[in-house]
Amino acid sequence: MKILLLGSGELGKEFVIAAQRIGQTVIAVDSYENAPAMQVAHGFEVINMLDGIELDRIVAKHQPDFIVPEIEAIRTERFYDYEKQGITVVPSAKAANFTMNRKAIRDLASKELGLKTANYRYATTAEELQKGVEAVGMPCVVKPLMSSSGKGQSTIKTTADIEKAWNYAVEGSRGDVVEVIVEAFVKFNSEITLLTVTQNNNPTLFCAPIGHRQERGDYQESWQPARISDKDLYEAQDMAEKVTEALGGAGLFGVEFFLADDGVYFSELSPRPHDTGMVTLAGTQNFNEFELHLRAILSLPIFEITLEKSGASAVVLASENSTKPTYMGLEKIAALPKTDFRIFGKPSSRPYRRMAVALTNDTLETPIEEIVDRAKQAAALIEVHY
């Protein structure tokens, strides 16, 4: 089978590696050369994926069996035409369109499916944002409708923050949609990612919940399994199954939830492997999230997902701009027990760009806090030089 991968970052790279292992052909696409997934794919294309004509051109050129989106900044409305041509869009054209824009997925979850979410409003100007803040109250969170890795996300605590939050959200927005969502701050105790696998001819499956810590709207550490009550887990699984069923198609979804005193709140959904799910590269499951995504796409039956170990991941961030970043300290992290790492191979760096990840695991009986601390200590050993 031939797969056209739209977006070629570190998550795409691991997906390509999984595909290569079972004999699939992958063409990696991104807006810059030598992106991580391009380094391991059979071929690559460099285009602006918001250009529908360019997107049409490479689809016609490669005639893929599958189109697998990895990022948000894509002219996703073209996907409906590709489905009509007999190409499988992953998980589906509807899922890709709805989830690339926070407005569509939030309205689906809240208004159509009746899932519990934070109170929210939309805004296309700073003035509308001010009215939205008045409606949901402070503190509140502002996010661009189209963005990734926390870009453009901020918290409003006072009226003086509103204009600054608007400007930051516009700067961090991807694509050509200048609109934000402002949502009430949920007083949550923790937040989880529930990796949910939908299959064409088999039941929906769930991975053990993943906990994570964020800064600047981007994850810093993740761990599996996260602590969650049986009641909350059942509620989260029920919500995840409802929203993924409504979106259709087969593949792995990263469904995010807040866990609060009054229950579980639906937060966001990604129709692809999730960054917090990189913890599964630590050997926590019988299949990592990239292998699960691939098998579901190819209609290879997944009998079960088993939790084999507890694990954690911790990111390595760049602090400076560089066109030739290099890495030191690999021999130190390699010498640690039950520890691994991935260097993503990004050709350039900028402040806070994710460049690598440290991975640790241990027995299911080991306190998860210890495993997370080891991951953070391991990540600190990798030095990015500029």
> pLDDT tens digit string along 160-197?
999 999 999 988 876 666 899 999 999 999 999 999 99
Evaluate if residue 199 carries a pLDDT over 70. yes
Between 152 and 134, whose confidence is greater? 134
Task: Select which of 218, 232, 275, 362 is catalytic.
Answer: 275
Q: For the beta carbon of residue 318, count every other beta carbon within 10 angstroms.
A: 19
In this prediction, residue 149 carries a pLDDT of: 61
DSSP line for 74-135: S-GGGHHHHHHTTPEESS-HHHHHHHTSHHHHHHIIIIIS------EEEESSHHHHHHHHHH
Residue 275 falls in the annotated catalytic set: yes
The mean per-residue pLDDT over the stretch 118-146 comes to 94
The identity of residue 285, as a single letter, is Q
Share of the chain above pLDDT 90, in %: 90
pLDDT digits (tens, 9 = 90+) for 319-360: 999 999 999 999 999 999 999 999 999 999 999 999 999 999
Query: Given pLDDT bands bounded at 50, 70 and 90, which one contains residue 148?
Result: low
Q: How far apart are CA 53 and CA 62, in angstroms?
A: 14
259-289 per-position pLDDT tens digit: 999 999 999 999 999 999 999 999 999 999 9
Annotation marks residue 215 as catalytic:
no
Secondary structure in 3-state letters for 118-181: CCEEEECCHHHHHHHHHHHCCCEEEEECCCCCCCCCEEECCHHHHHHHHHHHHHHCCCCCCCEE
Q: Tell me how crowded residue 306 is: count the other CB atoms within 10 A of its CB.
A: 11
Task: Provide the H-helix boundaries in 226-314.
Answer: 230-247, 289-297
Q: Please name the helix (run of DSSP H) or strand (run of DSSP E) that holds residue 11, with its range, or none.
A: helix 10-21
Please identify which of the residues 268, 283, 308, 348 carries the catalytic annotation. 268
The tens digit of pLDDT for each residue in 216-247 reads 878 999 999 999 999 999 999 999 999 999 99
- pLDDT-derived band at 375 (thresholds 50, 70, 90) equals very high
Kindly state the tokens that stand for 236: 């989260």
pLDDT at 311: 98
What pLDDT is stored for residue 357 in this prediction? 98
Q: Residue 185 carries which DSSP code?
A: P
CA 384/CA 300 separation, integer angstroms: 39
Q: What is the dihedral of CA 177, 351, 194, 155, to 10 degrees?
A: -60
| pLDDT (0 to 100) of residue 350 | 96
Residues tagged in the binding site annotation for Mg(2+): 256, 268
Sheet holding 66-69, edge to edge: 43-46, 25-30, 2-6, 66-69, 88-89
Please, is 98 exposed, middle or buried when counting C-beta atoms within 10 Å of its C-beta (0-12, 13-18, 19+)?
Answer: buried
Mean pLDDT of the 310-317 span: 98
Indicate the pLDDT class of residue 100, thresholds 50, 70 and 90.
confident
Q: What pLDDT was estimated at residue 175?
A: 62
The CA-based angle 281-287-292, given to 5 degrees, is 105
Residues within the annotated binding site? 10-11, 70, 102, 143, 148-153, 183-186, 191, 256, 268, 275, 346, 353-354
Environment class of 335 (CB within 10 Å of its CB; exposed 0-12, middle 13-18, buried 19+): exposed
Residue 213 annotated as catalytic: no
CA-closest candidate to residue 279, choices 381, 383, 152, 379: 379
Residue 116 tokens, joined: 């519990």
| Cα–Cα dist 174/105, whole Å | 16
- pTM here is 0.93
pLDDT per residue as tens digits for the range 102-117: 788 999 999 999 999 9
Reported confidence tier of residue 92, pLDDT bands at 50, 70, 90: very high
When the pLDDT of each residue in the chain is averaged and rounded to a whole number, the result is: 95
Residue 374 bears catalytic tag: no
How far apart (Å, rounded) are the C-alpha atoms in residues 1 and 56?
19
Task: Examine the residue annotation and report whether 137 is marked as an active-site residue of this protein.
Answer: no
List the catalytic residue out of 154, 196, 276, 349. Answer: 276
Task: Please report the pLDDT score of residue 216 as a whole number.
Answer: 81
Active-site residue, from 193, 354, 362, 374: 354
The confidence score (pLDDT) of residue 82 equals: 98
- Tell me whether residue 198 is one of the annotated catalytic residues: no
Is 30 a known active-site residue?
Answer: no
Distances in Å between the alpha carbon of 306 and those of 131, 221, 289, 303?
Answer: 47, 22, 12, 10
pLDDT at 101: 73
Which of 256, 289, 291, 340 is catalytic? The answer is 256
Q: Percent of the chain at pLDDT above 70?
A: 98
